[in-house]
Amino acid sequence: MTEPLTLEPTRRPLTAGEQRLLRVRIRTLTAAGRDASRRAFIITGSIVVVLWILTLLASDAPWPVVTGFWLAMYGAIGLWARRDMRRDGRQMLEAAGRLESALRRNTAEAYDIRASSFAEFEEVEDEGACYAFQIGDERLVFVAGQEFYPGARFPSLDFSLAYVLDEDGQTVDLVIDKRGSNAAAARRIPAAAKLRLELPEHLEVRHGRLDELERVLGDPSVRT
């Protein structure tokens, strides 16, 4: 069985815009990571104060008893929340470190896509968005993933996907560079029809045209 064809990337330095974007993300992750423990006690304290007031209003117990109870709960819940928030904070700081490594390496693998039209597949459950772009008279490239829901920067007929690499060669970020304006899908494949298809992997290339997607993707109801 032959290996599926995939779009070939171009390895290049990061653009000035990509470097700025990485620096912004590094600052955001670093600030959030360092502030995680403090935020845990603030959030817990806000919740406990509300519950303390509601308990005072609804209970006949003396206020010192109610206050002592919720102070104890604040300590217990605060320590538990702080542990989880500190773990999340470490993960954010580690992510910032990987982005700093990517800045030092200054390398991205870019996939340039210039299409004449595209089809959009309706999402099934939470599998992510999926598109087929016509990049030649008889070539289709498939773009799929949670990062590609329709928005201000996607989809378009002229764009690139820049996968940013760290010093270990691992992908640590994705930057979508939209060169053309947003475009409307030439076809929309409903979920019921999509379930009958053998969908390719992300950036896989198939021979065919949008008007024959069902045949290209092996719909058993379509005669070949």
Domain residue extents for the chain? 5-14+107-216, 26-105
Residues 37 and 82: beta-carbon distance below 8 Å: yes
Q: Which helix (H) or strand (E) holds 57?
A: helix 36-58
Contact 201, 136 (CB under 8 A): no
**Model confidence at 183: pLDDT above 90:** no
Amino acid (one-letter) located at 153: R
What is residue 37's predicted lDDT score, i.e. its pLDDT? 58
pLDDT band with cut points at 50, 70 and 90 for residue 1: very low
Q: Look at 184 and 83; give whichever has higher pLDDT.
A: 184
> Mean pLDDT for the chain?
85
Between the alpha carbon of residue 158 and those of residues 36, 39, 115, 137, the distances in Å are 40, 42, 6, 16
Q: Is the pLDDT at 186 greater than 60, yes or no? A: yes
Residue 35 has pLDDT above 90, yes or no: no
Strands (E), the chain: 5-6, 10-12, 107-114, 117-121, 129-136, 139-145, 158-165, 171-178, 187-189, 204-207
For range 84-100, the mean pLDDT: 84
Q: Residue 179: name the closest of 145, 204, 154 by CA.
A: 154
